[in-house]
Amino acid sequence: MTIMKSKLSLNRDLRNKMVPYLLIAPVIIYYFIFWLFPVINSIIGSFKDIENHWTFSNYIYIFKDPVFYQALLNTAFLVIFSVTIEFLLAFGLALLINTKFKGSSIFLFLAMIPMALPAVAVGAIWTSGFATRGWLNSFLMTFGFIDDAGKFLFLAGGKMASMWLIIIVDAWQVIPFVMIILLAGLQGVGTEMREAGYIFGGTKIQVLRKITIPMLKPTITTAMILRIISAIQIWLIIVMIFGFNRIPVLLEQVVLNVDELGSEFFLRIGMALSVIVALIVSVVAILYLKVSGSFEKKEEE
């Protein structure tokens, strides 16, 4: 009888231990079929030519292509400036909304609208806005800021002007996303800590710098990592506003080679580019975690 009870107890313990693995099994299977398998297939395909022979020629072609370096520099410019500007503005808005001023809930609701729009809709909105007779010029004319002869030619500027237009459009859509993450983190910071800082003679800037920001560091790290990754992956809005290859970026080159050029050779080039982009995203994320001190904190623990 005792042996039977011990066997039943062992079986029950085994079943209890297996429950978590059984619950996550569908997710693991899903990721294997729809993520891991395509990733492995793309990596293998990037090292093969159109005759299915192993080769490095796809990567050699990419690194000899001047458009690749243009796309790399443009992507780096967008990541550095858009992420920095958007974080500062989003953090300022999060601090403002966290004061719970009258009408802050309505302001938060309105600010979140751009975040809910897909990239295609954002591209369509701003393409029509930047047109010579678009809604931006119509708005400025209606309120008397410009006349018919003084219309802005938004899309006729040089490369740098076009890059800043992209940053403005991207900021319009993405700032609410970063703001929500930071606002959630701010609401998790207890008011007692800030009040203690004020009691001991700290100014608002000192309390923000020495209490709020250090306590918000994990939230800031999460927001920045997500934002850096999405900034590297920007392409659809650029293509909708300017078309392919006017402002080349990394992910646009992947899509162009895979979908637009339509040959087996360029499909292989697209696979190789996707591997390079994935490596760049991983390296940038790891470097940011290293610079922000996230790894050191884990080592201390």
Give me the domains of the chain, ranges plus CATH numbers: 56-300 (1.10.3720.10)
Letter string b/e over residues 139-162, b meaning 16 or more CB atoms within 10 A of that residue's CB: eeeeeeeeeeeebeebbeeeeeeb
Structure tokens belonging to residue 97: 């909304």
Chain centroid offset of residue 173 CA: 11
- pTM for the model stands at 0.84
pLDDT in tens, the chain (301 residues): 555 555 556 566 677 777 778 888 888 888 888 888 888 988 999 999 888 899 999 999 999 999 999 999 999 999 999 999 999 999 999 999 988 888 888 999 998 899 889 988 999 999 999 988 889 999 988 888 888 777 888 888 888 999 999 999 999 999 999 999 999 998 877 677 777 777 777 777 888 888 888 889 889 998 999 999 889 988 989 999 998 888 999 999 998 887 766 688 888 999 999 999 999 998 998 888 888 776 665 544 4
With the C-alpha atoms ordered 76, 80, 82, 83, is the resulting torsion angle positive or negative?
A: positive
Position 217: which residue type? K
SS3 content of the chain, % helix, strand, coil (to 5): 80, 0, 20
Q: Are 281 and 75 in contact (CB under 8 A)?
A: no
Question: In 3D, which of 60, 99, 126, 122 has the Cα closest to residue 268?
Answer: 60
**Residues with Cβ within 8 Å of residue 157, at least 6 apart in sequence:** 165
